[in-house]
Each structure stands twice: as structure tokens, then as C-alpha cells.
Amino acid sequence: MQEHYLKNVIEAALLAAGRPLSIADLAEIFDERERPESDEIRAALAELQADYAERGIELREVATGFRVQIRPSMTEAVSRLWQERPQRYSRALLETLALIAYRQPITRAEIEEVRGVTVNPNIVRTLFERNWIRVVGHREVPGRPELLGTTREFLDYFGLKSLDELPSLAELRDMDNLGVQLELPGEVGEVPAEDLRDQAEDTNLSAPGEDENVDSEEAQPDEAQAPGLVARGPDESA
């Protein structure tokens, strides 16, 4: 199979899929008689990545595969294509998500102990609805509370290949808000750096007690805006 043809087919598939594609997914595109080896597919992906080096799009590997997406530097301009009000995430939701990501597996009671306030059920429901968190087990204590952890979809959404790519707590303490570090789209509720400082050396994330009201938008998140604004296929609506 010609390398140029292989690269073009892979590029077309990535643009049309609307989701990350694994090496196995890309191999299945081809007829069994001409199916390329994994090394050939990876070589074609590397060439595409080089081709996009000076362009407004990039090839990114995330948890579930590879995808073509808008470069973060282009997001603000391209987001004007969508007229909907950008998704807004409350500080309470961001802090809850950060605790689950950095301390997983963790129970709701442990989240409440760190934050000093009761976790609003709407926040946890929103995180489950977005498929950013899941139940990974139960703590072997009376009541067997659920243990919460993040999902591969969480990694995909934030453009991460693994949890190892999460910004360190030191980086979080040095930034103005968590949303910027995780490249959340649109208007993001501010999370002051001092509110993310550890209360102890065991990497607890702290925050003062606060009203846990959740915006109605969080219960019904807007899917139009996503990190990197993944390139859509011709049949997909914005």
C-alpha cells in the first residue's frame, strides 16, 4: 500500500469519526487483504503530526486513541462559530472534580471532609452525566460507601493520555484558576490559587465552606464547546 494513500485514508477517518480512534480502529478501516501493520499506521500518524506542525489543527493522542482537533491557540476565534452561551462551571464543581482526579479512589464523605461543606448531589450527578467519573468500588467500612474515580472520557475531554499528564499540585497553586490549567472552554468559574493549597502533606486539596448552588447549565451541559474543539465530520451538527 502506498504511504501517501495510507496517510490520506487515516486523515479522512480521523476527521469523519468525531471521536478518538485507536490503532485497532484505524486498521479495521482497511480491507483485510491490504490491512497495514500497526507500525505502518503509527508512521502515518507521525507524518500527519508533522504536517500539522504549522497549521491551526493538531493530531493529539488521548486516552482512547488519536484525534484531530483545533489547536488551543485557535479555540477563542473558532468558538465564535457557536452562538450558544459558553458552558460555565462553578468553583464547587471544579474543586470536586479536582479532588476525585487527584485523590481517587475517594468517597463523597472524604470530599466533604476536605472541602468542609456537603457535596451538592447536582454536582455529582453532572459529573456522572458527562461520564467524567464512575464508581470504582466500595470502601470496606460500615455502609460501604462508593469509591469515585475518573473515566477515560474525562481524560479525552481534557486532552490527556493518562492521569500522569495532569498538572502537578505545585502548578495548580501557581495558576489563577483550575479551568485554565485544564483548558476548560468558555467562561470558567474562577478558582483562586490560594483555595487549592494543601492542608497537609498528603496532597489534600482545600477550599473554604461555600454555598454549593449549581447553575442550571451544569445539570444540562452544553456539548457544543469542547477542549480543542474536535474536528467534526460533514454529517455532524455543531
One domain for residues 70 and 142: no
Whether 225 is covered by a domain: the verdict is no
Closest CA to 105 of 154, 149, 164: 149
Separation of alpha carbons 140 and 61, rounded Å: 36
* Cell numbers for 110: 472524604
| Residue at 184: amino acid letter | L
CATH number at residue 31: 1.10.10.10
Supply the DSSP symbol for 138. E
Task: State which amino acid sits at residue 15.
Answer: L
Same domain, 132 and 203: yes
Q: Is residue 234 part of a domain?
A: no
DSSP 200: S
The residue that leads in pLDDT, 155 or 199, is 155
- Of residues 73 and 198, the one with the higher pLDDT is 73
Instruction: Examine the pLDDT at 185 and tell me if it is beyond 80.
Output: no
Neighbours of 151 (CB within 10 A): 17
In this predicted structure, what is the pLDDT of residue 212?
41
For residue 64, the enclosing domain spans 3-81
What are φ and ψ of residue 167, in 5° steps? -60, 145
Mean pLDDT, the chain, as a whole number? 76
Tell me: do 52 and 95 sit in the same domain: no
Same domain for 107 and 76: no
Domain count, the chain: 2
pLDDT tens figures, 47-106: 999 999 999 999 999 999 999 999 989 988 888 887 766 667 788 898 899 999 999 999
71 and 97 in a single domain? The answer is no
- Quote the pLDDT of residue 23: 96
Mean pLDDT for the stretch of residues 96-122: 92
User: Has residue 24 been placed in a domain?
Assistant: yes
